[in-house]
Amino acid sequence: MNEDVIAIAGRVQRGETTAVAVAEHALGRIDAMNGELNAFLTVAREEVLEQARAIDAKRARGEALGPLAGVPIALKDALCTRGVRTTCGSKILEHWVPPYDATVVTKLRQADALLPGKTNMDEFAMGSSNESSAFGPVKNPRDLARAPGGSSGGSAVAVAAGMTPAALGSDTGGSIRQPASFTGTVGVKPTYGRVSRFGLVAFASSLDQIGPFATDVRGAARVLSVIAGKDERDMTCLAAPADDFEGACGASVKGLRIGVPEEYFAKGLDPEVEASVRAAIARLEADGCIVKKVHLAHTRHAVATYYVLATAEASSNLARFDGVRYGLRVEPDRRAAGSGVGAAPTKSALRAMYGATRDAGFGAEVKRRILLGTFVLSAGYYDAYYLKAQKVRTLIRRDFDAAFGEVDAIVCPTAPTPAFLLGEKTSDPLSMYLSDVYTLPASLAGLPAISVPCAPTAAGLPVGLQIIAPALREATMFTLASAWEGSTRS
């Protein structure tokens, strides 16, 4: 029953199978594979079976089922789920159970999806390999010695290993697209504001976006159609209605202008990745696309810009994890902190508690980014770093605006290399950060982008083709992605 999103929903809607049977199959796959892959942190066994029975009862009453009827969809563990723990891959939230659902979770429930559990991730979405998780790394099913990418590595692996046909992740600087590239799955980052962030534990609020992984482009399009749309609880969520993303799949690409940015084919790009991506571009041209060179001159500044802005926002967002309101709390020795036994805590005692909690609860990568973000926001450095980075972000967006005056979409590699070995980059943070060099610009500009598999390397490692579209033009992106996908299956 390893079918895609569309096939499963159709079979459940027509009564050819039951939601319970689909749920039991998904749970069986998770049980069989998760011990080796470590993709799921929490398996909501009883909850998903209860959801499945409710869907089957709904059909038995003759009621219409939703567009994701009986489709198992894994959830990145940064998405709040009522009654099911949400850890963000961190010890500081290891036992936290939210009292509410994220908006996207509510929408999946309303569409009759099945939610079998929460997937592993880099701690607080800070990482590119899923190795910063407090609960151990996720392994890539394409090669168990290699990283699955991050930070949404668990969601990517859930789909790549056939545990679920779709999953939700979050993408701040490439955290959906890069894992999709490394695992040979489809991964979508929507336009910033297209999908509500309510209930997503924040990393960098001006960059975070929720999006789907799926086994195929059309399945990803259907999931995005369900989760997109205005939400009054997220003031950054756009009022633009969701387009017919699924209907855009299969449309003709003849006459579509695609831009190839020279800056994305420079030093550091793996030769096999370049060959695979250029072959995909040539195939799209043969199918009727018009290929043009474009320039994104400020791309070279994207990594530095991102790691100023994202860490600054992380420093602010993660200040809430202080041991007072929720999550881990570590009490220092009261006497050492300056309070007697039974006495009200002093300011120094509170500061000691904050420090002890955050030191014990946060991992090394999160601490590194909090320190960097606090530094760039500090007096005397704000203008030199944070303000300048905001100005460069504007220049990056203007580069895309100029390019989209000439083309309908931009096509390039998703990542500069195939999946790297586990442990290969953990001692060199800068090398790890550079693995997102091709995904960061679209994030900084707030643009929609998709990664779809293209020809693998000689060793059989997946390679991702990235398609970037203008804001709110996901339909164009899906048309090109589905055309490429169709050409690989013909």
Q: How far apart are CA 465 and CA 451, in angstroms?
A: 5
Question: CB of 451 within 8 A of CB of 186?
Answer: yes
Question: CB of 264 within 8 A of CB of 438?
Answer: yes
> Does residue 205 have an active-site annotation?
no
User: Which of 171, 215, 161 has the alpha carbon at shortest distance from 197?
Assistant: 171
Tokens describing residue 358: 């955050």
Secondary structure (H, E, C), 282-329? HHHHHCCCEEEEECCHHHHHHHHHHHHHHHHHHHHHHHHCCCCCCCCC
Q: How far apart are CA 170 and CA 78, in angstroms?
A: 8
Q: Is 5 helix (H, G, I), strand (E, B) or coil?
A: helix
What is the amino acid identity at position 280? A
Distances in Å between the Cα of 30 and the Cα atoms of 41, 77, 230 are 11, 16, 33
Q: How far apart are CA 352 and CA 358, in angstroms?
A: 10
Alpha carbon 326 to its chain's center: 25
Residue 286 burial (10 A CB sphere; 0-12, 13-18, 19+): exposed
* Choice among 128, 129, 155, 175 that is catalytic: 175
Phi and psi at residue 70, in whole multiples of 5°?
70, 10
Q: Strand 73-76 and strand 166-171: pairing?
A: parallel
* Choice among 90, 151, 196, 443 that is catalytic: 151
User: Which of 436, 393, 394, 404 has the alpha carbon at shortest distance from 295?
Assistant: 404
Q: How far apart are CA 77 and CA 200, in angstroms?
A: 9
Alpha carbon 295 to its chain's center: 27
Catalytic residue numbers read: 76, 151, 175
